[in-house]
Structures are given as structure tokens and as C-alpha cells.
């Protein structure tokens, strides 16, 4: 059959609007809407048969039940739903009514066309409403990770609007000890602050084991500036609660859910966070980031540099210390899950590398050592040996007890590439 014969067969099934008629031939030609295709075919068929041209009101269409007349209305509803929200990119999806989907199949079957001829009703709806949304909101379509996603539920006559998260990258320094990276709910009251009807004695009714956290200093400020509803803190690993994070700082990403603002002054934000923290922590290098930066921060292989104050059980000479550190440099370390984290880490042996180890004695029982090692290397256990769970260790090589009395992280950097790659930033 010719295309005009196919068009006649479709039109004979009942009142079919131009859009539904043209949609069956969506793969033919370019630069036309389906409604333009349908009208053109209807005119051409009338001319070919020398018959009067008869148009069909979209509201009377038995296939879409008049929905193809509502593109403008749906677009206006989408735009209204983000009237006071800052977005740059969008995507439109459609949940088609089951009856319309069934009608599409019946239309093609009745005309002897394949069930998948042309395109689907929901595909046309996505495109036609999407084009109008872009014009109304001065935004661009993004089929990967848009700022906002609209779902048109035709049967329920509802626009579901989803604001996707925004992301801010930076590095933090933790300048005071006994501050965890993230909020630490009290294990006795599960973060409620109460045991029964009484305030929890363990946490003083706060619901947290520590009054402050890096997350608590940073995330609420970012959330307030971006006018979001919730914030999540993602760090490139974490240091012990009693350790400082110095040097160039540790990479992190703050994820803001449902932000109403996305264009922010990151330099001012940096100042606001640091003012709020009052010297407990500092952030720097804040930048608007992409969704993919979260995975990069959490999964990029990174090496760490540490400085540790060490106390020995017996007197140690400088020659003995240097020999032990030389032996650790370049060593492969087997670490069975440390006693101190055994309750929250899988019991297994981890193999890690020490890239460099150096240090100097302060007196016969005290030293400061610096360790550069592979990510995941437990430094306290590298020093103490952890009752034989870490081999080799500084304590084992010196044949005396050794313990870290103060630990500082002084660098967190990517093993093969830096965390800061322009591909993952939006500014």
C-alpha cells in the first residue's frame, strides 16, 4: 500500500486528529510536527481522490481522546510549577493513559500497519510539551541529569515536578580534635534524645554523641543558601574523630535536595561556612559540581599523608627508629580488621602499601613520624601492630610497644589524577 492508502485506512477508523494520524508516519520526512504530517496527508489524500477535504477537531479524536490539543496547557502547568525556582535544564516524561495506548494499537491494527509504526503517543507528548516548556522557561532540555524533571500523568491530570539535587564541592580542614566528619547519633537513644519519656543520660538529651561535626558546620549553611529541603555530606574517606585534618584538606561534596536556588556566590558561601565554624573547621575551593562528582569523591583511589606523635614503652635510639622507618618505606602491609573498628567493619585482611615513612625522636620514648600510604591504611595500627593484626608494624620492628598519642592527616590526594577535574564542575 502507498502512504496515502495507509493514511486513508487510518482515517476511516473514525475521527482521528491530525497529530494521531501523522504520528503513524513519524519516521517520514523531517522538520514537521506530527500534526503537520497528518494534515498534509489528509489534504493529499483528498486531492488524490478528488474528494472534499474534511478536517477533524482534535477534541473529537477517538485515539488520544482530545489530549493532543492540550500541549500548551500542559507546558504552562509545568512552567507554573517552577515559577519561583531557579533551573537551567529540564526533561519531560509522560505517563500515557492505558486506554490511549490501547487505542494506538487498535488504530494501526485496523489499517494493517505494524504495531510500532511511527512513534508512541507519550514520545510525541514529551517532545511537544517539552519544546513549549523550554520556550516558556528559557531553559534547555537535558536527557541525562536535568535540574528539573516533569512527569505528565495524563489519566490523573497531574504534573509531577521533581527538582534534582545540586552539588557543592570543596575541601575541609578540621582544626580541633573530637569532631566527627558526619553527625553521630547516640546509640543509646537512636538519636531521639529520649529513653522512654525521659531525656537520654548518655547524650544529655541532644540525640548526638558529639555536639559538632564537619557536616553540621557545612551542610546547613549550604542548604540555607540554596534553599533546599535536605542536605547530605559525602567525604573522600574520613579521619578518626580524634585526628586533625590539615594541609590541603579533605575533598567533600554537599548534596542539596530540591534546591530552589542554583546560582550562588561560592566565595561568599565559603566565608559564611568559615564564620559559622569559628575556627573549628575551615573550607576552601568551593565550586558548583555535577552529580558525578559524588561518585568521584567516594571512589577515586587516593593516597593519604599522616603525621603522628608516637610514644614507646622502652627507650629507642635514633638509629633504631630510622632503620625501622626505612624498612616500612615501600613495604606491603597486611592488616586484619583492627580491634577498634571490628564492630563496624568486615573481618578480613587488607593489603596496603606504605610509600614513604620518616620521622625523628624527641626523646628516647617519644617521636614524630610521617607516613605516606595507600588509601585505607590504618596508621594507628601500623604503629602499634594491633596485637599482631598488622604486619609489619613500627612496634614489631622496634620490638617494643608503641602507641599513637596524636594523629594529623596532612594530605588527601588522588593516586593517579587530582580530584579537581574541570569535567566535574559546572562553573
Residue 348 belongs to a domain with what CATH number?
A: 3.30.70.3190
Rounded CA gap, 69 and 330, in Å? 72
Q: How far is CA 271 from CA 108, 195, 268, 425, in A?
A: 63, 39, 5, 20
What is the overall mean pLDDT for the chain? 94
The reported pTM is 0.88
Question: Cα–Cα distance between 406 and 309 in angstroms, integer?
Answer: 5
Domain end, chosen from 299, 329, 354, is at 299
Confidence category of residue 200, pLDDT binned at 50, 70, 90: confident
Q: Is the pLDDT confidence value at 344 over 70?
A: no
Residue 202, annotated ligand binder? no
- Do 199 and 70 share a structural domain? no
* Averaged pLDDT, 364-393: 96
Q: 326-330, 346-350, 386-390: which has the minimum mean pLDDT?
A: 346-350
Catalytic residue among 6, 147, 240, 408: 240
Same domain, 240 and 190: yes
In a domain, 420, yes or no: no
Same domain, 9 and 147: yes
- Given 243, 274, 299, the domain boundary residue is 299
- Domain interval for residue 186: 166-299
Residue 296: φ, ψ to 5°:
-65, -45
Q: How far apart are CA 312 and CA 361, in angstroms?
A: 11
> Is 326 considered catalytic here?
no
SS3 278: coil
Contacts for 31 with CB less than 8 Å, ≥ 6 apart: none
- If one counts the domains in the chain, the total is 3
- When pLDDT is averaged across residues 129-144 and rounded to a whole number, the result is 96
Whether residue 306 is annotated as binding a ligand: the answer is: yes
pLDDT at residue 245, rounded to an integer: 98
Tell whether 171 and 263 lie within a shared domain: yes
**Are 190 and 148 in the same domain?**
no
Residue 398 lies in a domain: yes
424 inside domain: no
**Residue 347: pLDDT band by 50, 70, 90 thresholds?**
confident
Residue 231 shares a structural domain with residue 339: no
Query: What is the arithmetic mean of pLDDT over 352-380?
Result: 96
Tens digit of each residue's pLDDT (9 = 90 or more) over 218-270: 999 999 999 999 999 999 999 999 999 999 999 999 999 999 999 999 999 99
Amino acid at each position: 500500500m502507498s502512504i496515502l492508502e495507509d493514511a486513508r485506512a487510518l482515517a476511516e477508523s473514525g475521527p482521528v486528529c491530525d497529530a494521531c494520524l501523522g504520528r503513524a508516519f513519524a519516521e517520514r520526512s523531517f522538520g514537521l510536527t506530527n500534526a503537520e504530517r497528518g494534515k498534509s496527508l489528509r489534504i493529499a489524500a483528498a486531492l488524490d481522490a478528488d474528494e472534499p477535504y474534511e478536517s477533524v477537531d482534535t477534541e473529537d479524536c477517538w485515539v488520544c481522546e482530545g489530549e493532543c490539543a492540550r500541549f500548551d496547557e500542559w507546558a504552562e502547568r509545568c512552567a507554573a510549577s517552577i515559577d519561583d525556582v531557579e533551573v537551567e535544564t529540564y526533561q519531560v516524561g509522560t505517563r500515557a493513559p492505558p486506554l490511549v495506548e490501547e487505542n494506538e494499537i487498535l488504530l494501526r491494527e485496523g489499517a494493517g500497519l505494524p504495531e510500532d509504526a511511527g512513534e508512541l503517543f507519550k514520545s510525541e507528548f514529551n517532545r511537544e510539551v517539552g519544546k513549549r516548556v523550554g520556550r516558556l522557561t528559557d531553559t534547555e532540555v537535558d536527557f541525562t541529569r536535568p535540574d528539573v524533571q516533569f512527569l505528565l500523568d495524563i489519566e490523573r491530570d497531574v504534573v509531577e515536578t521533581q527538582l534534582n539535587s545540586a552539588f557543592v564541592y570543596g575541601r575541609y580542614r578540621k582544626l580541633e580534635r573530637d569532631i566527627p566528619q558526619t553527625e553521630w547519633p547516640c546509640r543509646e537513644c537512636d538519636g531521639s534524645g529520649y529513653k522512654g519519656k525521659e531525656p537520654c543520660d548518655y547524650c544529655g538529651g541532644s540525640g548526638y554523641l558529639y555536639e559538632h561535626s564537619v557536616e553540621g558546620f557545612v551542610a546547613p549553611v549550604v542548604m540555607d543558601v540554596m534553599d533546599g529541603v535536605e542536605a547530605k555530606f559525602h567525604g573522600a574517606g574520613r579521619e578518626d574523630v580524634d585526628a586533625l585534618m590539615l594541609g590541603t584538606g579533605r575533598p567533600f561534596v554537599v548534596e542539596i535536595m530540591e534546591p530552589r536556588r542554583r546560582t550562588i556566590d561560592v566565595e561568599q558561601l565559603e566565608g559564611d561556612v568559615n564564620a559559622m565554624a569559628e575556627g573549628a573547621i575551615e573550607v576552601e575551593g568551593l565550586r558548583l559540581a555535577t552529580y558525578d562528582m559524588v561518585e568521584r569523591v567516594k571512589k577515586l583511589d587516593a593516597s593519604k599523608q599522616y603525621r603522628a606523635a608516637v610514644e614507646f614503652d622502652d627507650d629507642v635510639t635514633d638509629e633504631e627508629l630510622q632503620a625501622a622507618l626505612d624498612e616500612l618505606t615501600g613495604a606491603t602491609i597486611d592488616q586484619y580488621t583492627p580491634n577498634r573498628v571490628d564492630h563496624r567493619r568486615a573481618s578480613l585482611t587488607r593489603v596496603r602499601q606504605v610509600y614513604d615513612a620518616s620521622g625523628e625522636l624527641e626523646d628516647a620514648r617519644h617521636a614524630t613520624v610521617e607516613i605516606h600510604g595507600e588509601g585505607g591504611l590504618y596508621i594507628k595500627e601500623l604503629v602499634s601492630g594491633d596485637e599482631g593484626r598488622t604486619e609489619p608494624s613500627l612496634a614489631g620492628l622496634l620490638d617494643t610497644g608503641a602507641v599513637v598519642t596524636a594523629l594529623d592527616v596532612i594530605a588527601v590526594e588522588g593516586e593517579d589524577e587530582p580530584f579537581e577535574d574541570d569535567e566535574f564542575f559546572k562553573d
